[in-house]
Structure formats: structure tokens, C-alpha cells
Amino acid sequence: MANITIQNVHKAFGEVVVLEDFSAEFRDGEFVTLLGPSGCGKTTMLRMIAGFEKPTRGTIKIGDRVVTSPDTFVPPERRDIGMVFQSYAVWPHMTVYENVAYPLRIKRIDRDTIQQKVEAVLEIVHLAQYAKRIPSQLSGGQQQRVALARALVAEPQLLLLDEPLSNLDAKLRDSMRFEIKEIQKALGITVVFVTHDQIEAMTMSDRVVVIYKGIIQQVGKPSEIYRFPANQFVADFVGKINFLHAMIDGTKLLINGTDQSLAYRGPLSGSVVVGIRPENIRFDSKSNDLTGTLLSQFYLGDVNDCRIDIGGQVIRVIAEPSTFETHKEGDVVKLRVEEFTTFMDDSFDDHQKIIT
Amino acid sequence: MVKAESALATQKKYFDPKWLIMGVIIGFLVIFQVFPLLYLVVKSFFPQGSFSLSAFKRVYTYKMNWDALKTTLITASATMVFGIIIAFPLAWLVGRTNLIGKKFFRTLFVTTYMVPPYVGAMAWMRLLNPTVGTINVILMKIFHLESSPFNIYSIGGLIWVLTGFYFPYAFITISRAMEKMDPSLEEASRISGASPLKTLAKITLPLMLPSIVAAALLVFVTAGSCYGIPSIVGVPGQIHTVTTRIIDFVYIGTQEGLTDATTLAVFLMLIANIVLYVSTFPLAKKQFITVSGKSTRPNIVDLGRWRIPITLVVVIFAVIVVVIPFLTVATTSLTVNLGKPFSLENITMRYWERIFTRKAILSSAKNSVVSATLAATFGMVVTSMMAYLLVRTKAKGRKIPDFLITVGSGTPSVVIALALIMTMSGKFVINIYNTLSIMVIAYMIKYMLMGMRTVVSALSQISPSLEEAAQISGAGWFRRMKDVTFKLIAPSFVAGWFLIFMPCFYELTMSTLLYSTNTKTLGYELFTYQTYHSQQTASALATAILIMVIFVNWLLSRLTKGKFSV
């Protein structure tokens, strides 16, 4: 078990900067997720922790041991790390047992101990009866558990997971999510998990590091990231959100194109963007928060998915299913806003994404 | 200062052995390939130590050399044109239509690629000799001709034999490209209303054009730098090519002879490498169109009522180009008196007995086995490491060894041998002239490319994460090579080994220049028997080699489940 300390890690491939002055501290036994769109540098960061890439500058410590610094570089095979690869990387010419036993064989552990440990870890990942199979006889999910068992068998101080769920089908992904989380809790191991899937990040992590264009956007618990996103990118990438352009007038947020306003207390002034999650808007005939015209509604069973025009800006509202019966397209509706966040208007334009 | 020292200490602690091995290999390539070839080029421009084109002037004002040059260009160009005219329709018929027995034909034409070219020359010499050639005699009898219709000892004869033995190069290149082509491109044309023939003309042919150009240039270069065929069917008719001239000049042995040989060789080398380099351009540029990730089954064109006639044409072609020459060589090896027809009284096993008993032949065979084994083994070590460097590392200049190996294989054999003679006979510290080592090195330079290609393609099919998984499990470089990477590429490694071994085993051209009394090889032995002593003995040797080629080819396709033959 170990803390991971990353100090000012910078990585460039030639001219292209992949990570800029990345600093973070992952605590012992913590499940940390590096979350971001593809190409944001999250996998590169993970591979630098593993030692497959060398940072251009900066220091990485695992526990008290400096593994990467300007004058030290410990190769991956000496870092005592377990890792699950996106492609699983289960060796096709070895049986499940041989795959899982491999890290122990490298350590020259005696045969009986190896057998005992491999059997124990196969038990944990529910593969005990498959020990003699070769990987091509296993399903994707099973191969993935072989990779997990192999990463865990040597009881590493740190487990790295590189998008391990992305090649699984939706159902299997759900169950593996919980299994991995259970195993991590049971073993109390430090985990660094890389994904572009915000649901995986939200459900599994103790803390999430949101990365975009090689820069850390926000670090926090899943609920903090969701409720208090640091900027428009985070708000948009994690979950669904509506952005309304507005002006601050004292304690009022004047929604552009309307004479409507929301109450505001905060440090910002001038032109801003108001972020409202679709589930934080309710149809409420007694409310005075916002008024708009219902453009379209889609009955999805558990919710009514609506588009509402507010002075030329269209927002999405996820309303109670019963509202589908009580309202029709073209109605003027009153809305109550339960929670919103405000950002400086940095002309970030991903407005279309949420509507479509 | 202290910091630097500690850095050194940690660097040392985690020293990576692969860089040492690669350094040694690159050193080897520099000393034994780059240096000799560069020396040859420099020497041709600076014959007396100062820049001068006098050597070029002298060589190329000599009429015989001009004629040789002209003959080389004419025969190589004609072989290229005929080779493509034969290879493209064949590749299409075998790859895209319901030709009867197409798998068999594919194997047949691909196998001829592995056969030493001089075998064809030997056979056609017997068949089309102007006075006693079997076909000539038969035709004269049938049509009551005054003189024989064909003369093999002519430019036409040379082109005929060259085409028969070099069209498989084009056939293989074009077939592979056709297999890689996304068949849905053709299907889209059919669904748009085009007939199979129209699809062939408007879609398949234009998409194949880059590969056809590459195949054509490959045939041009290999035919132009061939020595075995022109030395057997050209020289008796006073027809010289650049390669035979070079060997003549070397045999003259004087300083002037060597300089002239150098000058001609440099010309040949530059032409060959420039042409091969140019041929990769259209391929590289257009590749994104033809290559698709999915390997779907190509749609098969139904030849309809033409199916049987076309199959018959292919059968006749195969009989003329493959069966007749091979049978001729085989029967020659059993014939007592070559002047009489092949009949029961005229059969003997004595030449077969001879090749398995005569000491000189056995010792040459042993030399060939030893040098081919060494060349194949070291060649695979070199190419595996260089393939690893190319595919798996991000080292700067990782493409250079691949480039060097490609240049080596594109360089005509006579040139490689000449370059080694001039630099490795004690003039520059190293003296390995007259040893097997110089032969092994020459073979490696010429044939390593085959190993390189197989290992590179095998390595690029294995996800690097398999190796990384071993690394994160704690395995050092040697360990993960042994446990994971090597195990996974082993079939390709074996295939590559044989692909280097076979051509080295029966090599003629370089051996002719590099042999000494103790290091004669099978190819050389065969050649001297053919030219001076006994055609039957030479034919017996050739037949034995043929049988071995077929066996190894069969073994290879079994070993790699059909992935590699050739």
C-alpha cells in the first residue's frame, strides 16, 4: 500500500504537449480515477506511473521511493505494481493458471506458495474452475478477470487500471464495476483507474481527477465534481447540463433575451453562464424562477424528457413522467430551479451537445 | 558533481541489456555492409585517391561493356513487361475467379519462386539448343525444317528463361496486394451495375496499379542483376550482361580489372537501389485505399462458359513454364548419353550415386549447409533484434537498420561479393577472404530482408501490452522476450530462418566470387559440373535441390498453418 506523489510532471512528444505540470497526491488505499475525453493525457499519466513512459520533467514517488525523477528511473519491472491493460493482455500461449502465476514465478517463490496464492486470487475473481483453460476459450469478461487476478496475485502496493471495462458489453461492465470496487475495498489497495466514462468514475471512485487537454481541471469526490464543477468543461463532461447565458446585476442573474432572473449571491459580475442540470429543474406552476415554452416532450417511461425555450435559449428538462399527460407542446410552463452553478463566460461552446 | 554521480549509479543499476545487443548488431552492419558498399562507391569515383571519372570513361567507352549494358537493360525491361503481362491475369484468376484448381496453381507458381534460377537455364539449354535441343529436334522432324527454329543462346532465349523464372516475383507481389484489397470496393462496383470485366478494368486494375508498378520494378531489378541465367544461356552465344562482365573482370584479377568491375558494379547497385526505392513511393502513398482492417472473403467471379477453356490455358502455361523444365532437369540426371533420346536403355543412376558419394561434392554440400545454417541463424538474430528495435522502441533512427537491410537485399549479389572482396581481404585490418565467414556475411547481407519482413509482420500483430504485462509482473527484458514475445513469434521466426536458409543453400553468384579451394559450395559445384564436366551430374544436384525446396515449402506451410510459404 502506498501514497502516490506526482510533482510537476510534464510530458511532451516532440512539439506536442500531452501533460502540463501535473501535480497530485493519491492517498494510501484510495480509489482514484483519472477522467477525461480521449487524448486528454490520462493514459499517458498512468503509463508514467507504471514506468512505460518517461516524463519530460517532474518527479513521481510511490510510497517513499522516488521511481521517476530527472536523475532516477526505475523500470516498470522493479516498481511492484499490478496493472490491468485495456486489451487485457492475457498471454494466449499460457493457461489461466500460468498467466496468473507468472508474477510469482518471476519472484522465484516456491511452487506450493504459488499454487496457494493463485488459487486464492482465482477464487476472488470467480475463475477457480477455469484454471486449466487457455485464454481463447474464455469470454471477454473472463479474460478481463484473468488480467485482474494476474495484477493482484503478487499483492502489489498499487493497482493501475487502464480503461479495463471499455471492451465489455454494457451488462458485464455494470457487474465488473461493482466487483472491482468490492475487491479494492476488501484488499484495501491503492487503485489508479483511467476512464473516459463518467459513470464508471462516479460509481467507483473515492476521488476523481478530471483532465482536459493535459491540464487538471478539478480534483474532488464524485459528488463535489457533480454538484460543484470547477468550470464549464467539467460541468459538461460529468453528467448532463444546460448552459444559459446571463448578466449579473447586483443580486440578480438576468437571463439573456428575457426579463427573467434568478437570485444570485456570489463573487462574479458581468457576463456569465448559468449551469443547470436537467434534473434540477421542476415543473411548478407556483414557481417564479423561470418561464418558457414547451417545444417538445418525449415519454421515456421513468421520465419525461422535455425541450423548453426560454427567451430564445433552449434548455433540456428531465421532468416527472406524469407531466407528459398534463402538458402539451406549445404550452407556457413555469419552472422551479433547485440548484445551479455560475461560471464566467469564457465563450466555451458546447451548448449543442446537451440539447441533441 | 555528486548529483551526476548518483545519476550514473542509478542508470547503471537499471542497465538495459537490449541496447548493448543492438549496438553490437548495428556495429556489425556498419562494418560488414555499410563500409564495403560505401568503399565501392567511393573507389569508383576516386580510383587513384583523387576524384576522377576516368574509370567510368574507360569502362563505358569499351564497346563490349556498352553492349553488356544494353543487353542488361533490354533483357530486364522485356522480362519486366512479359512478367507483368503474365503475372497480373494469373494473380486475378487465382485470387478472384472460380478457376479450377486455383489453390494448386497458386502453390505451383509460388514454389517456382524458391527454385534457383539457374535450373531453368539448364533445362531450356537442353530443350532449345540450336543443334541438339530436344524441342528443336522434334519440331524439325515434324515440320521438315532445314534449320532449328529456336536458338536459346540469344537475347530472345535469355528473355524467355528470365521471364519464366522471374514472373513469380510479380505474381506473389500482386497476389498479396489483391488479397489485402477490400473486396467491398469491387462489390460496390458490381452493385452499381458494372460487369465483372468492367469492374476488373475500372476498379481492380487502377487500385492494383501501385502494386503492379512495384512488382514490375522488382522484376526489372532482379532480372537485371541475375548472374546464373545469363552465364549459362548468354555467355555461350557471346551475349554478355553487366553481371557476367563484372565476374569476368574480377577473374582477370589485375588492379585494372578490379577497378573496371567496381565501376560497373557501382552503376548496377545505384540503378537497382534507386529503382527499388522509387517503387516504394506509389505503394506507400496509396496504401490507405487498398488496405482494409477486415479480412472478408472476396467475391468470386464466375468465369461461366470460359471456365474450362481458361483453366486449360493456365494448365498449358504451367506445363510449359514449370513442368517441362523440371522434368527435363530430372530426366537429364538419369540419362547416360545426352545425344540419344530418353529411353530405358539410356537410363542410369550413376549420377545420383555420384552426388551422394563423391568427396568433393559432399564437402561442398557440407560447406553449403554450414554457411547457410550460420547465415540463417545469425540473420534471424540480427533481424529479430532490428525488427524489435523498429516496431517496439522509439529510439531515434530505428528505421535505419531496416533501411540498410533493404538496401543490402536490393544490391545485386555480384556487387556485395565484390565489395566484400575489396574490403575484407586484409586491406583494412580484417582478413576473412577465402574463409566461410565472408560467404556467411555476404549471404546475410543479401537475404536477411526475408527474415526481417516475417519478424516485423509477426511483431506488429502482437499487442505491445502483452510484453508490458510481463514487464509490470516483474520480468526483465531477457525474461519477457523468452516467456512472451519470442514464444509468440516463434512460428514466424522458424519461417524466416528457412526463408534465409534456402537461397543461401543453393547460392551461386556470390559463391562464384568468394569461394576458395576449401570453401566451395553446392551452387558453385553445380555450376562447374554444368559448364565443364557433366550436365547429368549438375542435373542430379539440381533435382535434389528442387526436391528439397518443395519439401521445405511444404514443411513451412504446415509449420505456420499456411501463413508463410514461399
The complex's ipTM works out to 0.79
Task: Kindly state whether A92 is in contact with chain B, defined as any CB-CB distance less than 8 angstroms.
Answer: yes
Distance CA B513, CA B519 (A): 11
Given this model, what pLDDT does residue B280 score?
A: 65
CA pair distance A88, A72, nearest whole angstrom = 29
- Tell me how far the alpha carbon of residue B100 is from its chain's centroid: 29
Closest CA to A47 of A16, A26, A18: A18
Under a CB-based contact definition with an 8 Å cutoff, are residues B84 and B195 in contact? no
Q: Which residues of B360-380 are buried (b: 16+ CB within 10 A; e: fewer)?
A: ebeebbebbeebbbbbbebbb
Pairing of strands A270-276, A72-73: unpaired
Residues in chain B: 566
Interface mutation vs chain B, best among A18, A91, A152, most B CBs within 10 Å: A91
B246 touches chain A (CB under 8 A): no
Q: For B101, left (φ over 0), alpha (ψ -120 to 50), or beta?
A: left
- Residue B488: which of A74, A76, A93 has the nearest Cβ? A93
SS (H, E, C) B274-325: HHHHHHHHHHHHHHHHHECCCCCCCCCECCHHHHHHHHHHHHHHHHHHHHHH
Do residue A71 and residue B10 have CB atoms under 8 angstroms apart?
Answer: yes
Identify all chain B residues contacting A80, using CB atoms and an 8 Å cutoff. Answer: 474
Cα–Cα distances in angstroms (integers) from residue A350 to residues A37, A42, A135, A353, in the given order? 14, 22, 43, 6
Domains within chain B, CATH numbers bracketed: 16-49+351-566 (1.10.3720.10), 61-332 (1.10.3720.10)
**Closest CA of chain B from A111, distance in Å:** 17
Cell digits for B464?
Answer: 505491445
Contact B479 A50 (CB under 8 A): no
From chain B, pick out residues whose CB is under 8 angstroms from the CB of A154: 473-474
Q: Which of B4, B472, B475 sits opposite A83 (nearest CB)?
A: B472
Say yes or no for a CB contact (<8 Å) between A85 and B483. no
In B, minimum Cα distance to A146 occurs at: B469
Per-residue DSSP letter, B434: T
pLDDT, residue B50, reads 66
Put simply, the answer to whether B468 touches A89 (Cβ < 8 Å) is: yes
* B18 interfacial to chain A (CB closer than 8 Å): no
pLDDT in tens, chain B (566 residues): 334 444 444 444 567 777 888 888 888 888 888 888 888 888 777 766 666 677 677 777 777 777 888 888 889 889 999 999 998 988 888 888 888 888 888 888 877 777 888 888 888 888 887 777 777 777 777 777 777 777 778 888 889 888 988 888 888 888 877 877 777 777 777 777 777 788 788 878 887 887 888 788 888 888 888 888 888 887 777 888 888 888 888 787 777 777 777 787 787 788 877 877 776 665 544 443 333 333 445 667 777 788 888 888 888 888 888 888 888 888 887 777 666 666 777 777 777 877 787 788 888 888 888 999 999 999 999 889 888 888 888 877 788 888 888 888 878 888 888 888 888 777 777 777 778 888 899 999 988 888 888 888 788 888 888 999 999 998 888 898 999 989 888 888 888 888 888 888 888 888 888 888 788 888 888 888 887 778 888 888 888 888 888 888 788 777 766 555 44
CA–CA distance from B489 to each of B265, B384, B486 (Å)?
Answer: 37, 10, 5
Instruction: Give the number of residues written for chain A.
Output: 356
Could you please state the CATH topology (level 3) that the domain comprising A4-232 is classified under.
Answer: Rossmann fold (3.40.50)
Of A79, A92, A106, the CB nearest to B479: A106
Distances (CA, A) of B133 to A82, B137, B152, B469, B514: 74, 6, 9, 65, 33
Identify the CA nearest to B406 among candidates B441, B447, B463, B347: B447
Minimum-distance CB partner of B468 among A52, A93, A107: A52
Backbone angles phi, psi at A12, to 5 degrees: -135, 135
Q: How many CA atoms are closer than 13 Å to the CA of B509, on its beta-carbon side?
A: 30
CA-nearest residue to B3 within chain A is A71
Q: Do A71 and B6 touch (CB under 8 A)?
A: yes
Distance CA B269, CA B39 (A): 13
Instruction: Identify the residue among A77, A80, A93 best suited for mutation to test binding to B, counting B beta carbons within 10 A and taking the highest.
Output: A77
Q: Which of A102, A109, A118 is the best residue to mutate to test the B interface, defined by the most B CB atoms within 10 Å of its own CB?
A: A102
CATH of A241-355, one of 1.20.140.10, 3.40.50.720, 2.40.50.140, 3.40.50.700: 2.40.50.140
What count of Cα atoms within 13 Å lies in the side-chain half-sphere of residue A95? 12
Q: How far is CA B454 from the centre of its chain?
A: 15
Cβ separation A87–B465 shorter than 8 A: yes
Q: Look at residue B69 and give its three-state secondary structure.
A: helix
- Name B345's bridge partners: none
Kindly state whether A149 is in contact with chain B, defined as any CB-CB distance less than 8 angstroms: no
Which residues, given as ranges, of chain A have pLDDT below 70? Answer: 1, 347-356
- From the candidates A18, A56, A71, A88, which should be mutated to test the interface with B, based on the most B CB atoms within 10 A? A71
Q: What are the chain B neighbours of A91 within 8 Å (beta carbons)? A: 466, 469-470, 484, 488
CA B363 to chain centre: 25
Q: Please tell me which residue of chain B has the smallest CA distance to A149.
A: B473
**Cβ–Cβ of B468/A72 closer than 8 Å?**
no
A-chain residues near B461 (CB < 8 A):
none
Q: CB contact, 8 Å: A54 with chain B?
A: no
Q: Check CB contact of B49 with chain A, cutoff 8 Å.
A: no
Beta strand A290-299 with A332-337 is antiparallel
Whether residues B472 and A72 touch (CB distance < 8 A) is answered with: no
The string of DSSP codes covering B143-193 is: HT-SS-S--SSSHHHHHHHHHHHHHHHHHHHHHHHHHHB-HHHHHHHHHTT
CB A318 within 8 A of CB A279: yes
Helical H runs in B464-534?
464-472, 477-480, 486-505, 509-514, 522-528
Q: Where in chain A is the domain with CATH 3.40.50.300?
A: 4-232
pLDDT (0 to 100) of residue B561: 62
Residues of B in contact with A74 (CB under 8 A): 14
The enclosing H or E element of B96 equals: helix B63-96
Does B395 contact A at CB distance below 8 Å?
Answer: no
DSSP class of A106:
H
**A103, B473: Cβ pair inside 8 Å?**
yes
- Shortest CA gap A238–chain B (Å): 29
Distance from CA of A92 to the nearest CA of B (A): 8
Q: Residue A102 and residue B465: Cβ atoms within 8 Å? A: no
pLDDT of residue B14: 64
Which residue has 527499388 as its cell numbers? B276
Amino acid A9: pLDDT: 93
Question: Cα(B340)–Cα(B346) distance, rounded to whole angstroms?
Answer: 8
Q: How many A-B residue pairs are in contact by the CB < 8 A criterion?
A: 76
Q: Are A335 and A278 in contact (CB under 8 A)?
A: no
pLDDT score of A14: 83
Please indicate if any CB of chain A lies within 8 Å of the CB of B393. no
Q: Decide if A91 touches B, using CB distance below 8 A.
A: yes
Q: Are strands A242-249 and A215-220 parallel, antiparallel or unpaired?
A: unpaired
C-alpha torsion B247→B251→B253→B259, nearest 10: -10
User: Cα–Cα distance between A63 and B291 in angstroms, integer?
Assistant: 48
Rounded Cα gap, residues B483 and B137, in angstroms? 63
Query: Which residues make up the CATH 2.40.50.140 domain(s) of chain A?
Result: 241-355
CA distance A176 to A169: 10
Q: Do B463 and A89 touch (CB under 8 A)?
A: yes
Interface of B with A in 456-495 (CB under 8 A): 463, 465-466, 468-476, 479-480, 483-484, 487-488
From the CA of A106, how many Å to the nearest CA of chain B? 6
Phi, psi of A15 (to 5 degrees): -85, -25
B485 neighbors B462 (Cβ within 8 angstroms): yes
